[in-house]
Amino acid sequence: MEPPAQLAGRQRHGARLGVWPPNVVDDKGKILIPSDAWSWGGRINTTIPDSEPRFRRAAGIPAAIVTSSATYDFPHGYYAGVNFFYQSAMSLDRLDTMWVPKGHTFDLNFGYRGKKWDVLTNITNVLNNDIYNFAGFANWLDPKFQRAVNITLAHHF
């Protein structure tokens, strides 16, 4: 199968300059894949069947999330508490090529609750540990639970 005459010069010229890949030929010189058959750019997609057990994990969802909270009420309206959050490592894609490490955070809360007013304090991520959330629809990671201090003053009417 010979390329049309108008393409022959262009193909030879392009292959010589390194612009196009050369024709793919068999051992007898017959063109199996002409040089114009190659495409450049685009997106490569891979379909993984559900029958493949190695890749059944959902991308961007950790296998384990553990939360725990404890609060103690002291006499005269004072209180203190702690929150714990743990997230296991998670893969960012079905092929397990990119991973987010596991992480945990501790939060402290304390304050005063009275009949007419409250003062509530919450310190998020006391140890300033890195932990991430995967926004799969946009393919980016964002930090989860950054260290912050929130103080709330409330008056009851």
The per-residue pLDDT for range 105-153, each reduced to its tens digit, is 999 999 999 999 999 999 999 998 888 887 665 566 777 888 899 999 9
Tokens of 78: 């004072």
Strands 65-73 and 117-124: unpaired
Could you give the 3-state DSSP secondary structure of residue 16? Answer: helix
Q: Which residues pair with 66 in a beta bridge?
A: 86
The HSE-up count of residue 43 (CA atoms within 13 Å, CB side) is 3
Name 147's Cβ contacts closer than 8 Å, sequence gap at least 6: 123, 124, 125, 126, 128
**Cα Rg of the chain, angstroms:** 31
pTM for the predicted model, two decimal places: 0.59
- For position 40, what pLDDT does the model report? 56
Q: What is the pLDDT of residues 72-111, one digit of tens each?
A: 999 999 999 999 999 998 888 777 778 888 999 999 999 9
Q: Which residues pair with 119 in a beta bridge?
A: 112, 153
- For position 30, what pLDDT does the model report? 86
- For position 51, what pLDDT does the model report? 72
Instruction: Please indicate whether residue 46 or residue 66 has the higher confidence score (pLDDT).
Output: 66
Q: What are phi and psi of 50, to 5 degrees?
A: -65, -15
List the one residue out of 122, 120, 104 whose CA is nearest residue 112. Answer: 120
